[in-house]
Each structure stands twice: as structure tokens, then as C-alpha cells.
Amino acid sequence: MISAGDFRNGVTFEMDGNVLQVIEFQHVKPGKGAAFVRTKTRNVITGAVTERTFNPTDKFPKAFIDRRDMEYLYQDGDLYYFMDTETYEQEPIDSQHLGDAFKFVKENMLCKVLSYKGVVFGVEPPNFVELKVIATEPGVKGDTATNVTKPATVETGAEIKVPIFIEEGEMIRIDTRTGEYMERA
């Protein structure tokens, strides 16, 4: 059990049959009245974010999220197949659980598969990936203004903005959390 007074960012707990994760919290002690905890929580299954206040003595069962390293194997329709790196068991995961950052993942990459009581609710790709640029326009000569970018398509099919000096065939590093070009690989 965890009390609302012990809430910190990232803490997961069960409430009303839902699994919630604390995104922001603030302990408030007004001049009059009792203290309370103001929170912003995310439902880890649906992704819905809500703001709510709690009495610091409210107690909730702690929720344990299982984070397993799994290797992405292949896609078959709306199902994406992952292999547990310890047991070598394959697990199909529906595309709705993947998220936007999954467009930077190619086959045989390790990802973290998030589950609660055996139910998969999300996939976290690595924070940084190295991908090859397969299509981009040549840079315009003389265009030397700062931070000039152009669109480029990487080997997974995702399109990002890259500096004008990047050419087709180059390997680049991408931050999957923001979808931004970081550097040449």
C-alpha cells in the first residue's frame, strides 16, 4: 500500500480498477484547513490524463509494471511480433499499443514491452536509434542560414527533418522520444 503523501513522479498505483501513474504532484498546506496532495495522473492502459486532489492519508495498492526486454521480429497485418530474449517465446502485440515512436524501430531491435498482470499496454523503443537515410533532396548551394533543414526518409519509412548537409545513404542518430535528428552516426 502507498499513501497519497508518499506520491512521487513515476509512482504507479491502483484506484477504482484502473492503474494510474503520477506525472506531477504537489503537497499543499493551506493556511486554513487540512493539507492535501494535488496530482496529475495518467491511466497507463488508456493513456488518459486527469488532475485530482487526495487527502495525504489516502492509501492505495501499489501497481507493479513489468518491463521486459524483447526483440522486435516482424509485422503481420496489425500484429507486431516480439521475442522474449530469455525464454525465446514469441508474443504478438496489437498495433494500437505501439505508440508514435515505434516508427523508428526496425527488425531485430530491442524494445521494452510494458505489461500489467500479463496484459501488454505499451512498447518503449530505445531512446536513440541509428538509421540510414534512404531518400532526401540534395542541399541547395549557398543556403547557409543557421538551422536550415530539409525532409528525409529513413529506412523504416519515417520522415524527419535533417540538416542540409545530410545525403542519401548516410547513417544518422535519431532521438525516438522527440523524433529529432541528433547527429551523424
Can you list the domains of the chain with their CATH numbers? 2-60 (2.30.30.30), 66-124 (2.40.50.140), 128-184 (2.40.50.140)
- Does 83 score more than 90 pLDDT? yes
- Does 165 score more than 80 pLDDT? yes
Residues contacting residue 93 through CB under 8 Å, at least 6 positions apart: 79, 80, 81, 82, 113, 120, 123
pLDDT given at position 159:
92
User: Chain-wide mean pLDDT for the chain?
Assistant: 87
pTM of the shown model? 0.71
- Does 141 score more than 70 pLDDT? no
Give the CA angle between residues 106, 110, 112 to the nearest 5°: 115
pLDDT given at position 144:
63
> What's the pLDDT band for 59 if we cut at 50, 70, 90?
very high
pLDDT > 90 fraction of the chain, expressed in percent and rounded: 23
